[in-house]
Amino acid sequence: MPDPAVPPTPAVPLAALLAREDLALRRLAGPSDPGRVVHGALASEMADPYPYLLGGELLLTAGVHIPGTAGPQEGASGREEPGPGGYFDAYVSRIVAAGGAALGFGVAPVHDTVPPALVAACEAHGLPLLEVPPRTTFAAVARAVWQLMAQARHAELRRVTEAQQSLASAASRPDPVPSVLRRLARHLDGRAVLYGPEGAAIAEAGRQPGEPVDGPLSALARLLGARGSATASDTTPAGVHLAAYALGAGHGFVLGVAAPRRDPGDHTIASVAAVLLSLLTGEHHGGTEAARSSALVRLLLGAAPEAVAPLLGGERWRVVHGRPEPQGTPDAMAASALGAALGSPLVDLAEGVVRVLVPADREPAAQAGWTLGVSAAAGPADWPAADTRAARALARARATRVPLVRDGDRPALADLLPSDEAEAHARALLAPLGGNQALADTLRTWLSLHGSWDRTAVALGVHRNTVRQRITRCAALLGAELDDPDVRMELWFALRRR
């Protein structure tokens, strides 16, 4: 996954500058809006600073440009203004027109006090006016602005990095899509919705950010699809920020997010989530996929597995059986995510078990949130047997509470018996249990853990006395001496066949 883009430099709240005791700035006029921010500091003695402002600056001046007489003077706009009052009005209006965030006036050495006409003009135009005391240099104010911006930038970069790690971790869970949406909604303090190709919401997480946004967010997602754009954004009348991101190249999924505010790193965080969701929902096309489709068609038309195996990319494969833990039920997206983690797109989901065909040269590793059983490498003719052995390995893994069990490469003694005869014997041997699943599961787990009462109780989540009672009941129904290793071995083989 690509590194996240660097978020833009965060602005500095004007209140943070006023809170700096070392600067001793004092607000003299203008609104005390806590949301007012500055994007930089600029010192200028130009009578008309408009051409030099980009917007959002704290403009610093010592008043060198202020006319020194009370007669008619040329104003900042180039027109003659009636006295200093008109000059200040024109000067402040030009700052506001350029998008200046605030004006800082340095007291001494040019002026002993801030001109009252300047205070009145700033109040009239809604421009915050700060008094800069004699002991505070403009360089110190500018340095403080950049220090606060650096601190905010570092905090935002750390937030983006932590969010990226959190989202990547969520994508590896058994329920990757809901997990990614939940993490994204938490990081943005809002709502995240995944829309399918038909425009319907197929997964969602988070809270409504102050007002119901499902309607506007759905409309924005449909607009994105209609335009064929990669992203789109909007803001509701109540000020909730909406954004939509197209996932992948043209397969129709859209990520929609809604948040009560828009911080500099939010777009980067949402973009990371969009990349992850694209990987989880995307359809892959190309020569490899065409070969797999060809293999499927040939099988359906009667070709033998041996004939189509080369189209899958190898002669020998491992079968992996997986179940999410604890006691989870995987969906199609979770199954695809497990296949991606194991490096194979050949995935099947049936009866709560995910089956994955993995090339023999890849050694499947344990996956967080999953219990896996892995067969030995097998050729096409032996795939059914490998499937059975992977199922047995999964049962062993679940019984012993370990994340992964590998079936041995050598055939087991039980595998030498014809399967139909072995299964008939197992049914007859275990018939006295009367199909009691709890007894059979307890006996199988107890045997797999070498007769340990405590470990069996932990594995089954029951009291050790319950385990003792069930094993005693099994021994009575089966008429067997469970301390005899031969009896244990025969029962173990039968339970594996069962």
Radius of gyration of the chain (CA): 36
The count of other CB atoms within 10 Å of the CB of residue 67 is 17
pTM of the model: 0.47
CATH of residue 467: 1.10.10.2840
Structural tokens at position 450 = 């070498």
| Domain C-terminal end among 311, 328, 363 | 311
Nearest to 496 by CA among 397, 392, 387, 352: 392
| Residue-wise pLDDT tens digits, 298-333 | 777 777 777 777 777 667 889 999 988 766 677 776
Q: How many domains does the chain have?
A: 5
**H/E segment holding residue 27:** strand 26-29
Amino acid at 179: S
Q: Are residues 17 and 136 both part of a single domain?
A: yes
| Domain annotation covers residue 161 | no
| Domain annotation covers residue 1 | no
| Domain annotation covers residue 3 | no
Residue 70 pLDDT level (bands cut at 50, 70, 90): very low
Which residue segment(s) compose the domain that 289 sits in?
284-311
CATH of residue 73: 3.40.1390.20
Percent of the chain having pLDDT more than 70?
85
| Residue-wise pLDDT tens digits, 118-137 | 999 999 999 999 999 999 99
**H/E segment holding residue 197:** none
- The listed range with the strongest mean pLDDT (123-132, 194-203, 339-348, 376-385) is 123-132
Q: Are residues 334 and 447 both part of a single domain?
A: no
Match 């009239």 to its residue by tokens. Answer: 124
| Domain C-terminal end among 292, 311, 330 | 311
| Residue-wise pLDDT tens digits, 340-364 | 777 777 888 888 889 998 888 878 8
Q: Are residues 22 and 93 both part of a single domain?
A: yes
| Domain annotation covers residue 164 | no
